[in-house]
Amino acid sequence: MIAIIDYDAGNIKSVEKALLALGQEVEVTSDREKILSADKVILPGVGAFGDAMANLRESGLDEVIREVVKKEIPFLGICLGLQLLFESSEEAPGVAGLGILKGKILRIPERAGLKIPHMGWNSLHLEHDGRLFRGIEENAYVYFVHSYYLQAEEKEIVKASTEYSTHIHASVEQGNIFACQFHPEKSSDVGLHILKNFVEL
């Protein structure tokens, strides 16, 4: 069973639908025991970093996520779910992230002719043999919606990057932790292939 963590941060239905299309058993839940007994766990999310961290802390789900990581259950953060894994975000000064991975979330710089949020399809540069990207071609297009981006401290955990006004770390992997800034569930066949790679780990 794949547990999708429900913490009032949106975007859950499309993730659930994509996994069901792959024939997976899925449960959307905030229940500690269900999450910790799942085969895999997904933290989706759209919205504000500060609100999301407040929701996770109030519900105790921040500690549950740490337990998932400790138990080495494969874990996938999507969009805001990627950002929350890191230490801090310019979107919410003074609010600590989960700090499970090292790095910070920065605002995408304003550049003439580029709209923020970065919304739409962009190509991926693949690096360091990410397990999520097995069978995915270099420059494959995926779907992004974000105004803030990751700058990971440890470059070797970065498995895909993209360019939009700046160099964006688009996907990371460390041990049992995987995360994507883009939305695989909205990225057509490429995205489904990425999710399939995750469920087959």
pTM of structure: 0.97
Residues catalogued as catalytic: 79, 183, 185
Over residues 54-86, the pLDDT tens digits come to 999 999 999 999 999 999 999 999 999 999 999
Over residues 17-46, the pLDDT tens digits come to 999 999 999 999 999 999 999 999 999 988
Rg (CA), the chain: 15
The CATH number of 2-199 is 3.40.50.880
Taking the mean position of all CA atoms in its chain, how far away is CA 125? 17
Looking at residue 77, its amino acid is: G
Residue 146 to residue 139: CA distance in whole angstroms: 19
Preceding amide of 109 cis, omega within 30: no
